[in-house]
Structure 1
Amino acid sequence: MAIDRYLVEQHQLGLMPATLRFYSWSPPAISLGYHQHQYPDRWQNLIWHGRAIDLVRRPTGGRAVLHQGDLTYAVVISGLSGSRTQVYQQICEFLIQGWRSLGIQLHYGTVGRGYIHNPNCFGTATGADLVLADGTKLIGSAQLRRGNVILQHGSMRLEPDEELFAQVFGKDVFAPVKLPLNLHKEELVRTVMNALVASAKSYFQAEFVVQPLSDREWEKVYLDCD
């Protein structure tokens, strides 16, 4: 989350180009929306496979997301115009095209404002979310705007653990994800990332350069965390 915020700041200052980022979480974590201040006390003491589950706050809005068995994407970009929904759809198009190349059709959710009463981000699907043909939510996204710079990041559920999901959000709320890819773990993540990078190149008409953060940049990120 701190890295995503740092990328926004650097792009806003003109020190970094538009960015596409993918990452996973170790240990698993629950990310809270920026304005989400009510959540169960027990979330601060969750253990899974002998490791504490991190509780972090996103710079974006929305509700709690359990990051385990998922892949997170982040787009930092400027120059887009339109309403919040229109900008969501402009950015989400590369996700739709990338998953389509894997044989999976995604559609926008249809839930209205009532979603705010559900603490679980994946419990409902709004017009900013992408769902499978059976209505199961595959991708939940959120945005942050700083001037004309936009951060949109989101969680793509690949292999969520039903037991952990029930431990966090309760029983009878888990919707299994059924992906017809017959891939597991590293191979599944690599396949999805490659498809989305290819679709982003085509959709945004951009060339990407893989560039890890430098030691100095890591220092700035850690200072921001403090």
Structure 2
Amino acid sequence: MITTKPYKKNLDNPKTWRYLPMIPASGEIQMAIDSWLLQQVQQGIHPPTLRFYTWQPPAISLGYHQKRFPDHWQNLVQEGTLELVRRPTGGRAVLHQGDLTYAVVISGATGKRLQIYEEVCQFLIVGWQQLGISLHYGKEGRGYRDVANCFETATGADLVTSYGEKLIGSAQLRRGETLLQHGSMQLNPDPCLFQKVFNQLPTSTHLSVSHQEIIKKLKTAAIKCFQINLVTQPLQRSEWQEILEAVSE
């Protein structure tokens, strides 16, 4: 269950969330932002937050506990083809190219892991339904641990289309009742790069819908599903400084 708790600067309106406008940045920076948001919300000095972002340059993100990955990935990194980044969340490797990532950071998250996934993912289901695509949860068990590619299998935390194509892969990190959930929406993967990384072609088809249209629908769905006010506020200079200091440590 999600029951948003008030934060220190907004005790009178705990249903107000912050929306961070789109930030194109490196994977290292994106993961630092998500980790910083989790810490800030946990400490009660920052409101629940929704954001969307892209990875520039392309990157492979590893799950926090993912120890093994193909040796040739390091060669791709050394060639400058892509970056290799570790997420603060679990799961398997994701190729971030031609995708759009969402992140939700909230407080008051209690209950079982899949229950929380379903509560958070509801806005994704509603938003994509408005875009004409119906999504449902995957059904794979723990066998996903044996594959490197996150999008090769779909667990109960992932969303697939009516054709069985995995569209959204999500991962979580909980600190007490504070939650970071972020996930990749595979929109236009480059088949050549995908083949280089995973030695297979992507299972998802290309979607012609723009990032702007997706974000518009998902923001509206988030307001409805979470019953919140969503206030747009870019990262301030002092906040950027804190995030960049964390990266340099």
TM bucket (normalised to shorter chain) is over 0.9
Is residue 126 of structure 2 the alignment partner of residue 104 of structure 1? Answer: no
Check conservation: 1:138, 1:177, Cα contact below 8 A: no
Q: Give the corresponding residue for 1:21.
A: 51
Is residue 150 of structure 2 the alignment partner of residue 121 of structure 1? Answer: yes
Check conservation: 2:189, 2:206, Cα contact below 8 A: no
**How many matched pairs?**
218
Distance in 1 between residues matched to 2:145 and 2:117, nearest whole Å:
18
State the percentage of identical aligned residues.
Answer: 57
Normalised by the size of structure 2, how large is the TM-score? 0.84
Superposed displacement of residue 52, structure 1: 3.3
Check conservation: 1:27, 1:51, Cα contact below 8 A: no
Distance in 1 between residues matched to 2:80 and 2:146, nearest whole Å:
29
Normalised by the size of structure 1, how large is the TM-score? 0.92
Distance in 1 between residues matched to 2:164 and 2:145, nearest whole Å:
19
Distance in 2 between residues matched to 1:107 and 1:218, nearest whole Å:
37
Question: Which SS does the other structure have where 2:133 is aligned?
Answer: coil
Q: How does 1:131-170 map to 2 (within 5 A)?
A: 131-170=160-199
Between 103-112 and 35-44, report the one with greater CA deviation. 35-44
Q: Give the corresponding residue for 2:202.
A: 174
Residue 231 of structure 2 aligns with an amino acid whose one-letter code is V
- 1:105-155 Cα offsets, whole Å, 9 max, x none, are 000000000110011000000000000011110000000001110000000
Between 159-168 and 214-223, report the one with greater CA deviation. 214-223
Superposed displacement of residue 178, structure 1: 4.9
Residue 210 of structure 1 aligns with an amino acid whose one-letter code is T
Distance in 2 between residues matched to 1:196 and 1:51, nearest whole Å:
33
Distance in 1 between residues matched to 2:246 and 2:240, nearest whole Å:
10
Superposed displacement of residue 103, structure 1: 1.1
Aligned counterpart in structure 2 of residue 38 of structure 1, from 46, 68, 71: 68
Superposed displacement of residue 66, structure 1: 0.2
Residue 104 of structure 2 aligns with an amino acid whose one-letter code is V
Superposed displacement of residue 214, structure 1: 1.5
Residue 57 of structure 2 aligns with an amino acid whose one-letter code is P
Check conservation: 2:66, 2:92, Cα contact below 8 A: yes
Between 72-81 and 37-46, report the one with greater CA deviation. 37-46
Check conservation: 1:46, 1:53, Cα contact below 8 A: yes
Superposed displacement of residue 47, structure 1: 6.4
Check conservation: 1:111, 1:126, Cα contact below 8 A: yes
Distance in 1 between residues matched to 2:48 and 2:211, nearest whole Å:
23
Question: Which SS does the other structure have where 2:183 is aligned?
Answer: strand
Question: Which SS does the other structure have where 2:40 is aligned?
Answer: helix
Check conservation: 2:76, 2:82, Cα contact below 8 A: yes
Superposed displacement of residue 80, structure 1: 2.6
Q: Give the corresponding residue for 1:85.
A: 114
Superposed displacement of residue 51, structure 1: 4.5
Distance in 1 between residues matched to 2:213 and 2:99, nearest whole Å:
13
Unaligned runs of 5+ in 2: 1-30
Let me know the Cα RMSD of the aligned residues: 1.5
Aligned counterpart in structure 1 of residue 236 of structure 2, from 191, 208, 214: 214
Is residue 95 of structure 2 the alignment partner of residue 66 of structure 1? Answer: yes
Check conservation: 1:45, 1:53, Cα contact below 8 A: no
Distance in 2 between residues matched to 1:152 and 1:65, nearest whole Å:
15
Distance in 1 between residues matched to 2:75 and 2:48, nearest whole Å:
37
Change (3 A) 1:42 1:198: same
Residue 69 of structure 2 aligns with an amino acid whose one-letter code is Y
- Displacement over 4 Å in runs of 4+: none
Unaligned runs of 5+ in 1: none
